[in-house]
Structure 1
Amino acid sequence: MLCLPRFPFPLHRTGGLLLAGLLGLATAAAAQAPLDSLGGLTGQLARHARQLPREELFLHFDRPLYLSGETMWFKLYATGGPQGRPQALSSVAYVEVLDAGRRPVLRGKVPLREATGQGTFLLPASLPSGRYTVRAYTRWMRNFGPQAFFHGTVTVVNTFAASGAVPAPDSAALEARFFPEGGELVRGLRSKVAFKVTDKRGRAVAATGTVLDAQGTAVANFSTRRGGMGSFEFTPATGAGAYSAVINRAAGPGQPRPQAFTSRLPAVREQGYVLSLAPAASPGQLLLTVQSTPGQPETVLLLAHARQQAALARPLRLQNGRAELVVNQRELPDGVSRFTLFSEARQPLAERLFFQRPRHGLALTARPDQPRYSPRAKVSLNVAATNAAGPASLSVAVYRLDSLSAATNPTIDQYLGLTSELRGSVENPGYYFAATGPEAEAATDELLLVQGWSRFTWADVLRPAAGPPAFQPELYGPVVQARLTRANSEEPRAGLTTYFSSPSRVVRLYTDYSDANGLLRFEPGNLYGPQTVMLQTDPRQDSTARITLLDPYSEQFATLPTPPAFDLTTRFRTDYARRHLQAQVQTVFAGRKYDRYRVMPTDSVPFYGRPDATYPLDSYTRFKVFEEVLREYVPGVIVRIRNDGFHLMTMDNISKSLFQENPLVLLDGVPVFNVNKIMAMNPLKVQRLDVVNSRYFQGEAAYDGIVSFRTYKGNLEGFQLDPRVLIQEYEGLQEKREFYAPRYDTPEQQRSRRPDMRELLYWNPAVTVAGSGTAPQPLEFFTGDQPGRYLIEVQGLDATGAAGSSRSTFEVQPAL
């Protein structure tokens, strides 16, 4: 049997979403060719999009707040391309829970299938209370830096320590940051400046302030509008020196006015450009203005782009240091667009963001059959996507709302449309999608100025291609990487065959040659759960090389604003005690049912396929030494004794002759190069023996036949491997945990005395609804024993990339 070698990147799945997505990306880039009127600028952007297509992840959590010891459930959505359609580029997502010090407290590899995945984390009972960042990324996304990773925030309450909670002292110190429109303040040019005021714990603060020049003269006044943000306009004067702002925190009713503090504005440039954007006189239009100082080149290039695709490209000629352009908003895509100003030498000069509310969202509905229910009653829920273009993939969560419920994360439509283009978390992102009027437009503008960022640098776009990307996509499961070096040094060892295996009853073996940097790459496919992996070189080639297994998780972290700190509040002590009791009751009465896992399909065929001969040793009279077993029962394997001990030779069925070298000898899939050790093993521990009587090719490795021994349990049965073999614990893909929810279909079940104190009534990450005009998807679940108001949250994405969410509630009334 011939094992095909690994193909270099790019390698795409024909017939899958990946091929369609990349073809669509190339078509979109080709469609923009007429826009390439800026000296090749838009062509460079299209080339960059083809070489580094964008990939994005979104996580839908089952709820925003957890107790230590509870299970966090989530669904992953993978999108990409200019339209943000579902994209099956990667098959593995890396998900981490980080504490306030950016230290991972939980990590997992979640399989992605057809651009979605589902995973869980069991939060340790010892996990301290606080706000935790959950980040998710693929190997491919690491090419764009950690800022491009998904970041969400969840709150964890440790009720074991909450009963005596003492709130942390409030910090009176404030911090202000200023963001000039277009990127810089320029002497003599009127500029808009956005700002944000927070305390030292990252919480937005309402404040007022005054801008002063170097002589202490007031040049502008300002006040916060929403979320500690606001803006003001002023013209940096010639010879005025540096500018600063005196800021006063707003005082509450009857409180003394807090002490003011001073913060510096960004430095003022003597020469440059200012790019500004404002509503035009006509509805649906924008007025873009470019200003420059005297002596600057009069011709500049303007490029509007979104998701690696050009939307508008035009040269502008300044007259008397000023140029204006009216832009029709209909020409811009939904979501965030960037207006970037370039010099004729294609050097970026200024950039401005604009947000267009999505015009083509996915309309989702989730209607329970009643507004109120009794305990342990059936809830029939009809879920529909009324305008979906084909099937839509959805996730549904139903949980109880109480005083401890934390602020929710952005929904999928809010994240893909807005917050993924911003740095840090956004307070109440739904406001920027629903609110209208001048006040909402100003607040949105200030948000974009304060928290906007770019997924790429123009230097990367404009420089010539410099080889393949550093991180290739994982198309067929997690890629395991290792490095070979000389013993006691960091000098790489190149050109050595290395073997990767994991003892099992399913025989799997992977090989690779180390490259010039000593790097190895293995693709073990769908390896689930905790595994013991073993890496070794062929001692006939080298017996001194040191093997190091590389960590697949990113050690780079995004620079994000500090999320607001979380305090355990004494006024919620009763609520903490109630939730603690509920959680402990659920653990006692239903704990094991929460640990059910779905059996994942496995391919039981060994990597070498069907052997030429198989010997179930229990079918033969047992001998106590392997030499007798092989001589008596296995004619395809010849035992020879030489000066260095035993040798095995297999018969070549093609040439009808004996191979002169030892075959590849395996024990539970692990190569054993010392035949003497395998011959000394107790044959009563071996259940089966497979023999391949022909030359076998695996990538660039070739074997003179294969002799594979399998033990009863697939665990090596205490066999002592060579001490040079690297043995290491490895966490494979997450196994799918099954969501447990009791049913009360019969009167006997409803009368059960077993308490049902669930906060999370329902979680289903695998709901599929058909397109518009079809019947809703019926779902059902049962309420528990806790009265209160429950939230139904539905999120999803259809095949065109249209995203949507829906929230509705129902009541569970107390038992009579």
Structure 2
Amino acid sequence: MQVRKSVLFIVYWHISSWKQSWVNIVSLFTNHLNSSIMNIVKSINISSFLVGLAFLLLPAVLFARDDASGQTTSDRIINAFYTMETVYPQQTLFIHIDKEEFLAGETIWFKAYLVNATTLEPDTLSTNMHLNLLNTNGDIVTSLLLRMENGMTHGNIHLPDSISEGNYEVIAYTDWMQNFDKRFYFNKDLYVFNPIEENFIRRSDLIRNRRFNRQLSRLEEQMQFAFFPEGGNMVAGLENRVAFKAANELGAGVDAEGILRDGHGAAILEFTTLHNGMGSFAFTPEPGVEYTARVRFANGEVKKVPLPKAESRGLLLSALQSDGHIMVSVQSNFDPATPELTEGFYLLAHTRGRPYHMEHFTLDNRAFQIHIPVENLPTGVSNLKLFTAGGTPVAERLMFINRNDIQDAVVLDHETHRTDGEDMISINLALNNFETKGSYSLAVVDASHPERDYRSNIASELLLFGDLGYRIKDPGFYLDPEAAKGPAAADLVMMTHGWKRFDMENILNNKFPEIVYGFPDGITLRGTVTPRSSARKTGQVNVELSIHQDDGIEIYSTTTDEDGNFSFTNLFYDELFMAMLRVDSRHDRRAMEVRLGGASFEAFQYSKNFQSRHLQVTSRGDDWERVPRPETVLKRRGIIQPRTAGTPSMYAQVDQVIYFDDIRDQYATVLDVLRTRVRGVRIVDGQITLRGPSSLFFTNEPLFLIDETIVSRSAFLGVSVRQIERLAVMSGPQSAILGARGTNGALLIYTLRGDSQRDITYDYVLKGFHAPAESFEAKIHTDQYARFDMDRTLFWEPYLELEEYGEFSVSFPSDENVRNLRIIIQGIDEKGRITFHDEVL
């Protein structure tokens, strides 16, 4: 007889799991009391926090069990999910970028949407977002720190004329996201064209581009194939549905067909791909028989791929969506009297980490079936998880639920007219079913082609791929209501992927993520004061921070702990700003020095993927010249001649010496001196290079030395100009004395000798929050877009101001070269309802 016990989930979710969640919160705060978890506490509104404590404490008293061992399996599962949602809430980040192809000299315009990964409501906890633009060498070309407000921020990245043509990747994340799987950072591939690079590209870069293309070609030609049994297990004696994926090594799906044969070579069935290299078939494997598929790919390559071995004693979880229900089936092929079967199983259905259905059941004649109404589940990826009575996960099946509740927009009318001698386009639009306020961005693009575009969008990322941590071609296709194969193809995506947000077994065993990063509010500067020649602890030392602004100086002060650690928090400054740290150089009659901890940057590696393109610049152009890249090189300035010989140097031959006696009061930082006094120096995006007489350009920075000791760039730039006697410059043949390390030249600082200064100051040039451009502006000639058959942005608005009923109007300049007017609207409201509209007028 089949036995079922359903759970009334809303009540159970909010009552039964309170106690264990509170236990987990206490444990979390205890384990991390002395770590950065305290930053989270500081960032939480105290009144909200106290209300939350009362909300948790009362049920913990009323419904407490003696201890955790008294919990049922369902308690453990529900409590684990509740703890993940309430104590370890995850985030999903989407960035609307105006387009995907750019020209050197253009500007990338973007708007970021940060939401709670479970509810999809705008996330209000995080205030800082990090955005990096990565090239194929893994170098960070641009790094921005952006301040978020109510889960939103926007900005722009200017691409210099000298940027190399090629593939780039946008990677973005918050501090809190660093505590979890890096696969859930936001990633977006872009391509930048530079039509003049061929005229100044270096030989080493040509070699690198050719090597990149060869590697890309090999990966494109190498095929891979995999089988994915439904539920994760092949079970002998039962009909199994098996999905498969054919792709190249870049992950791009490819067409393929094959024949499945048994161990004697007899053909069992034929199969072929349905969409993007994916397909499926159904058959009943016999016990003890091994099966092999002979797969032929579209390029003619043939592979033999073994089918996973069928279990002689296993469980088969299958599901089908039809007529507004998910029909779930669990079957077994072993003795019904087995204790594992008599104790029963638990079936859990959760979406984005929040359970919506849980059922305890036993098998009747080795089978169990249930219909779950789709209306009980939200749009998104639902995970059907099968557990044993003891709580061990044994099978999993993903289902994509599409309730067609993505909010759309409609173009009411549009016209071209002439105003003040300029051609203008005006568009009137409205959001469908507009109910609550939200945040929306608009890009109007002169599209090179009128065909529908299936690139990633806010709906595909938040609803479909946000929990998979996986890139797939044309993600928008699976949400297109007009795509006939869309639902079947989406189900194949579900069968060929797993749910990756967190590890189920870990959380069931109370192994939760380690919290290292919190929710910093503003910029935090951390550092350490240490004695120069003493083993004793630093003790408490006063530290003063001065921030120099155009309208004056702001001063902050703090005291170190006994180990000399200090921090300044809640700093809000934009772009580059100058900071000065001052400490008592003779505290407790001991000489002190300061080390400022730099910002912790993630190390990224560019991974070639199916969106990577072959690089176009593989040979020199007809107008190639041996000239530096077209970037600003500072002009030479007059050098004040020294009045004294100064401190002797082991490097007698230098190219330039700058004495500070006459200029010490004219400059605030070492960087100012480099910019205006040093010949041949180039400073681009904070990187310093020297142009010596024997070479025209360098790829790396020079060697930095203080009193003939090699130091880091930050330490070099941090020396106060009041402590410098002179600065020496070595480049070209003069730097040969430094060996291989001096290939790129050297900058040497010689400090003042003696103990004439009691207070030591350290000057830093720091990077603050990104200050976005006030308005959209395009400066590229239209003929360049036609040459590369690429889109151009005509209008960008990161924050649409909606009128009553969700209507809005925009006007922008136009010209006779507009080909196809494409409108892209993306956004989300305060309830987590997603808006996406993509239309070519």
**For this structure pair, what is the TM-score category when the shorter chain's length is used for normalisation?**
0.5 to 0.7
Q: Partner of 1:259 in structure 2?
A: 301
Counterpart residue type for residue 456 of structure 1: F
Match of 2:812 among 756, 776, 781: 781
- Alpha carbons 2:584, 2:760 under 8 Å: kept: no
| Equivalent in the alignment of 2:504 | 458
Q: Which residue of 2 aligns with 1:705?
A: none
- Secondary structure (helix, strand or coil) at the match of 1:53 reads coil
Q: Residues 573-722 of structure 1: matches in 2 within 5 Å?
A: none
Please name the residue that 2:793 is paired with: 760
Name 1:210's counterpart in structure 2: 259
In the alignment, what sits opposite 1:183?
A: 232
Residue 136 of structure 1 and its aligned partner are, at CA, apart by: 1.3
Cα deviation, residue 799, structure 1: 1.4
Pick closer, same or farther for the CA change 1:250–1:79 going to 2, 3 Å.
Answer: same
Following superposition, the deviation at residue 508 of structure 1 comes to 3.5
Deviations 1:531-551 (A, max 9, x none): 344557655267567735243
Matched, 1:552 2:609: no
Contact 2:417 2:423 in 1 (8 A): no
CA-to-aligned-CA distance 1:531-580 (integer Å, 9 cap, x gap): 3445576552675677352433333679x88233313679xx9xx99xxx
Does the alignment pair 1:96 with 2:143?
no
What's the CA shift for 1:74?
0.3
How far apart are 1:155 and its partner, in Å?
A: 2.2
Tell me the distance in 1 between the aligned counterparts of 2:418 and 2:283: 59
Aligned length: 638
What pairs with 1:225-304 in structure 2 (closer than 5 Å)? 225-241=274-290, 243-250=291-298, 258-266=300-308, 271-280=313-322, 283-294=323-334, 295=338, 297-298=340-341, 299-304=344-349
Q: Secondary structure at the match of 2:391?
A: coil
The answer (yes or no) to whether the contact 2:523–2:570 under 8 Å persists in 1 is: yes
Between 1:183-192 and 1:114-123, the stretch displaced more is 183-192
1:644-666 residue CA offsets vs partner (Å, 9 max, x unmatched): xxxxxxxxxxxxxxxxxxxxxxx
Structure 2: unaligned runs, 5 residues or longer: 1-36, 64-70, 200-205, 623-629, 633-721, 724-754, 780-789
- Check the 8 A contact 2:416/2:426 in 1, yes or no: no
Instruction: Tell me the residue number matched to 1:312.
Output: 357
- Given that 1:53 and 1:80 are in contact with CA atoms closer than 8 Å, whether structure 2 keeps it comes out as yes
State whether residues 276 and 288 of structure 1, in contact with CA within 8 Å, keep that contact through their aligned partners in structure 2: yes
Match of 1:46 in 2: 82
Give 2:331's aligned amino acid: Q
Give how far 1:359 is off. 3.7
Sequence identity (%) = 23
**1:397 shift after superposition:** 1.1
The structural deviation recorded for 1:224 is: 1.0
Aligned match of 2:385: 340
Paired residue secondary structure (2:74): coil
Could you tell me how far apart the structure 1 residues matched to 2:778 and 2:770 are? Answer: 24
CA–CA separation in structure 2 for the residues paired with 1:400 and 1:83: 35
Report deviation, 1:57.
Answer: 1.3
What letter corresponds to residue 324 of structure 2 in structure 1? G
Q: Secondary structure at the match of 1:278?
A: strand
Instruction: Look up the match of 2:774.
Output: 738
Are residues 1:118 and 2:184 paired?
A: no
For the 8 Å contact 1:146–1:556, the answer to whether it is kept is no
CA 1:370–1:809: 2 relative to 1, 3 Å: farther
Q: Which runs of 5+ in 1 are unaligned?
A: 1-5, 252-257, 578-586, 592-676, 679-718, 744-756, 811-816
Taking a change above 3 Å as real, the CA distance of residues 72 and 42 of structure 1, as seen in their structure-2 partners, is: same
Aligned counterpart, 1:796 = 827
> Partners in 1 of 2:765 and 2:791 — Cα distance?
35
Q: Is the 8 A contact 1:202 1:564 kept in 2?
A: no
Residues 41, 269 of structure 1: CA spacing in aligned structure 2 closer, same or farther, 3 A cutoff?
A: same
Q: Distance in 2 between matches of 1:426 and 1:492?
A: 57
AA in 1 matched with 2:278: M
* Alpha-carbon separation, structure 2, partners of 1:382 and 1:84: 28
Q: Offset of 1:76 from its aligned partner? A: 0.6
Query: SS of the residue aligned with 1:232?
Result: strand
Contact kept? 2:424, 2:814, Cα under 8 Å? yes
**How big is the shift at 1:194?**
2.1
Aligned to 1:449: 495
Q: 1:130–1:557: structure 2 CA closer, same or farther, 3 Å change rule?
A: closer
Partner of 1:127: 163
Larger helix proportion of the pair: 2
Q: Which residue of 1 aligns with 2:122?
A: 86
CA distance in 2, matches of 1:728, 1:20: 40
In structure 2, relative to structure 1, the CA distance for the partners of 1:174 and 1:7 (3 Å cut) is closer
**Correspondent of 1:363 among 408, 413, 424:** 408
Q: Does 1:350 align with 2:399?
A: no
Match of 2:523 among 475, 478, 493: 478
- C-alpha RMSD of matched pairs (Å): 4.8
Superimposed CA distance per residue, residues 377-414 of structure 1 (whole angstroms, 9 cap, x where no aligned partner): 22222232232322221111112112699966422122
Please name the residue that 2:243 is paired with: 194
**Superposition TM-score, scaled by structure 1 size:** 0.68
Amino acid at match of 1:506: I
CA contact (8 A) 1:202 1:565 kept: no
In structure 2, distance between residues paired with 1:551 and 1:273: 50
Displacement after TM superposition at 1:75 (Å): 0.3
Query: Within 5 A, what are the aligned runs for 1:399-548?
Result: 399-402=445-448, 409-435=455-481, 439-464=485-510, 469-474=515-520, 476-482=521-527, 499=543, 501=545, 503-504=547-548, 505-509=552-556, 511=558, 513=560, 521-533=567-579, 539=585, 540=587, 543=591, 547=595
Cα deviation for residue 226 of structure 1 reads 0.8
For the residue of structure 2 that corresponds to 1:239, the secondary structure is coil
Q: Distance in 1 between matches of 2:348 and 2:363?
A: 16
Q: State the partner residue of 1:694.
A: none
* CA distance, structure 2, for counterparts of residue 90 and residue 758 of structure 1: 34
Amino acid of the residue matched to residue 811 of structure 2? Answer: E
User: Which whole-Å deviations, capped at 9, do the CAs of 1:99-153 have from their partners, x for residues lacking one?
Assistant: 3455433221111112210111122434343333212110111122211212222
Q: 1:479 to 1:369 in 2, by over 3 A?
A: same
Q: 1:91 and 1:313 mapped to 2: Cα distance?
A: 36
Instruction: Say if 1:366 and 1:794, in contact at 8 Å, map to a contact too.
Output: no
The answer (yes or no) to whether the contact 1:485–1:492 under 8 Å persists in 2 is: no
Indicate if the aligned counterparts of 2:454 and 2:475 stay in contact, CA closer than 8 A: no
Q: Distance in 2 between matches of 1:185 and 1:525?
A: 57
Letter in 2 for 1:331: N
CA distance in 2, matches of 1:128, 1:172: 26
| Counterpart code for 1:58 | F
Contact 1:422 1:448 in 2 (8 A): no
**Secondary structure at the residue paired with 1:414?**
helix
Alpha-carbon shift at residue 426 of structure 1 (Å): 2.9
Cα offset for 1:781?
A: 1.3
Asked if 1:323 is matched to 2:354, the reply is no
How far did 1:60 drift? 0.3
Change (3 A) 1:503 1:354: same
Aligned to 2:614: 567
1:235 and 1:394 map into 2 onto residues whose CA distance is: 51
C-alpha distance 487-725 of structure 1, shift in aligned 2 (>3 A): same
